């Protein structure tokens, strides 16, 4: 049985780690290099580094910062933000990223998923999907949640898988930063429709939320930011609690 993964997320803006609620009201959460090193030592299974304003500001992910983080960690490291070409991915992998995460660029040009999977392998390609439940329908949003689309979450996720993505990072905009728990109903539907791993994101507030997303939401990994950044939950304690609740994790 595959172990479930715990993944701290470093949302980066202007070279600093930030955290908001429902994708807005950002506050500073520290130096990303220092945080990455702490997480690698404290039992995180992977790290995700998202340059959250790269797409909006039409610039590339900070390759230099990626390299500095990669030098400090010995766990898989996914980088996203402003990636729109094979060349972008090549630069990030050469600077120490293990995987890349694409979002807006994949919606705008879905063939990009095929191209990246063919060039670098599916295991290297994560497609992030930010979705919001509106009148009972989960709709995909772009540019850090600012731009709504007509895409349905479940239909888009299926297409993403078919085009060669290795995993999906699903963030519920309704739950993000609320600390009220993950969107487990939507996650369970995704799990029933897909064969690739699904990372749950948005809503972690306590340890029970992680147990719930693995058991009820059928997630393969759970990503969180502020509960880790502000030391509300220690990863070691979380993993011990998950193990007590029958969730297989790497201790």
- Could you please report the per-residue DSSP string of 32-100? HHHHHHHHHHTT-S-EEEEETTTTTTT----HHHHHHHHTT--S-EEEESS--SHHHHHHHHHTT-SEE
Burial class (CB in 10 A: 0-12, 13-18, 19+), 105: buried
Active-site pick, 45, 130, 176, 212: 130
- Which stretches within the chain are classed as H helix? 32-41, 63-70, 86-94, 104-108, 111-120, 153-162, 184-193, 207-215, 226-229, 235-244
Catalytic residue among 11, 176, 212, 220: 11
Q: Let me know if 130 is a catalytic residue.
A: yes
Residue in the block written with tokens 């690739």 = 196
Token pair of 175 as six digits: 């739950």
Say whether 176 is catalytic: no
Name the residue with tokens 């994708």. Answer: 23
Indicate which residues carry an active-site annotation: 11, 130
């Amino acid at each position: 049985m595959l172990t479930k993964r715990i993944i701290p997320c470093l949302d980066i803006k202007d070279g600093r780690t930030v955290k908001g609620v429902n994708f807005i009201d950002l506050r500073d959460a520290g130096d990303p290099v220092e945080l990455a090193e702490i997480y690698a030592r404290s039992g995180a299974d992977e790290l995700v580094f998202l340059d959250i304003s790269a797409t909006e500001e039409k610039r590339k992910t900070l390759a230099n910062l990626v390299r500095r983080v990669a030098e400090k960690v010995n766990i898989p490291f996914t980088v996203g933000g402003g990636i729109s070409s094979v060349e972008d991915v090549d630069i990030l992998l050469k600077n120490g990223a293990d995987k890349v995460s694409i979002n807006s660029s994949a919606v705008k040009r879905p063939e990009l998923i095929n191209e990246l999977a063919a060039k670098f392998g599916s295991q290297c390609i994560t497609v992030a999907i930010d979705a919001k439940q509106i009148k009972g329908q989960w709709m995909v949003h772009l540019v850090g949640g600012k731009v709504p689309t007509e895409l349905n979450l479940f239909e888009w996720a299926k297409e993403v898988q078919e085009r060669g993505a290795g995993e999906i990072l699903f963030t519920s905009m309704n739950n993000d930063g609320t600390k009220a728990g993950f969107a487990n109903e939507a996650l369970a539907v995704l799990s029933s429709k897909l064969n690739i791993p699904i990372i749950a994101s948005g809503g972690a507030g306590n340890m029970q939320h992680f147990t719930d997303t693995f058991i009820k939401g059928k997630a393969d990994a759970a990503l969180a930011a502020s509960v880790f950044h502000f030391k509300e939950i220690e990863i070691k304690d979380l993993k011990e609690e998950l193990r007590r609740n029958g969730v297989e994790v790497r201790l």
